Structure 1
Amino acid sequence: MRRFEGKVALVTAAAQGIGQAVVRRIAAEGGGVVVTDLQQDAVAALADELGTEHALGVKVDVTSRADIDAAIAAAVGRFGRLDLVVNNAGGCIITSMPEDTSDEDWHRQLDFTLLSAARCIQAAIPHLVKTRGNVVTISSVNGISAFGNVEYAAAKAGQIAMSQNYAARYGPLGVRFNVVAPGTVRTPNWESQPGALEKLKLMYPLGRVGEPEDIAAAVAFLGSDDAAWITGHTLPVEGGVLTGPNPTNLRPT
Structure 2
Amino acid sequence: MRRFEGYAAMVTGAGRGIGESVARRLAAEGARVLVTDVDAARAEEAAAGVCAAGGEALAHPADVTSRPSVEAAVRCAVDRFGRLDVLVNNAYATHEEAPRLEDEDDEGWQRDLDTTLTGAFRCCRAALPHLAAAGGRGSVVNIGSVNGIQDFGGHAYSAAKAGLASLTRTLAGQAAARGVRVNLVAPGTVATPAWEDRGTDLERAARAYPLGRVGRPEDVAAAVAYLASSDAAWVTGVTLPVDGGVLIANSELRRALAGQ
- Which range, TM-score by smaller chain? over 0.9
CA contact (8 A) 1:207 1:246 kept: no
Deviation track 1:131-164 (CA, whole Å, cap 9, x = no partner) reads: 0301000000000011111111111000000010
For 1:241 and 1:230, the matched residues in 2 are separated by: 23
Q: What letter corresponds to residue 198 of structure 2 in structure 1?
A: Q
Aligned residue for 1:136, secondary structure, equals strand
Q: Structure 1 residue 48: deviation in Å?
A: 2.9
Secondary structure of the residue aligned to 1:177 is strand
Which residue is equivalent to 2:118?
115
Partner of 2:230: 225
Q: Trace 1:110-149 onto structure 2 (pairs within 5 A).
A: 110-131=113-134, 132=136, 133-149=138-154
Question: SS of the residue aligned with 1:51?
Answer: helix
Aligned to 1:78: 80
- Measure, in 1, the Cα distance between the counterparts of 2:254 and 2:151: 20
Give yes or no for contact 2:191–2:215 (8 Å, CA) kept in 1: yes
Aligned to 2:197: 192
Counterpart position of 1:10 = 10
C-alpha RMSD over aligned residues: 1.7
1:46 lines up with 2:46 in the alignment: yes
Instruction: Indicate whether 1:20 and 2:20 are aligned.
Output: yes
Listed one character per residue, the Cα deviations across residues 171-193 of structure 1 (whole Å, up to 9, x for unaligned) are 11110000000000000111221
Matched, 1:209 2:217: no
What amino acid sits opposite 1:27 in the alignment? A
Choose which of 183, 186, 190 in structure 2 pairs with 1:178. 183
**TM-score (structure 2 length as normaliser):** 0.93
Amino acid aligned to 1:135: V
Per-residue CA deviation, residues 51-88 of structure 1 (Å, 9 max, x unaligned), is: 39821100111111111100000000000000000000
Alignment-derived partner of residue 95 in structure 2: 93
Asked if the contact 1:182–1:236 (Cα under 8 Å) also holds between the matched residues in 2, the reply is yes
Task: Tell me if the contact between 2:14 and 2:46 (Cα under 8 Å) persists in the aligned partners.
Answer: no
Listed as ranges, the gaps of 5+ residues in structure 2 are none
Q: How far is the alpha carbon of 1:246 from its aligned partner?
A: 4.3
What are the Cα deviations for residues 99-150 of structure 1, in whole angstroms up to 9, with x where unaligned? 3222333222210111010000000010000003010000000000111111
- Give 3-state SS (helix, strand or coil) of 2:24's partner: helix
- For residues 46 and 87 of structure 1, do their structure 2 counterparts lie closer, same or farther at Cα, with a shift above 3 Å needed? same
Q: Structure 2: which amino acid aligns with 1:170?
A: A
Letter in 2 for 1:40: A
Q: Could you tell me the percent identity over the aligned residues?
A: 51
1:186-211 CA distance string (max 9 Å, x none):
00111221101011111111110000
The aligned residue for residue 155 of structure 1 is 160
In the alignment, is the contact (CA less than 8 A) between 1:13 and 1:88 conserved in 2? yes
Distance 1:108 1:45, change over 3 A: closer
SS at match of 1:55: strand
Alpha carbons of structure 1 residues 120 and 198: separation in structure 2 relative to 1, 3 Å? same
State the SS of the aligned residue for 2:133: helix
Distance 2:259 2:168 in 1: 43
Runs of 5+ consecutive residues of structure 1 not aligned to the other structure:
none
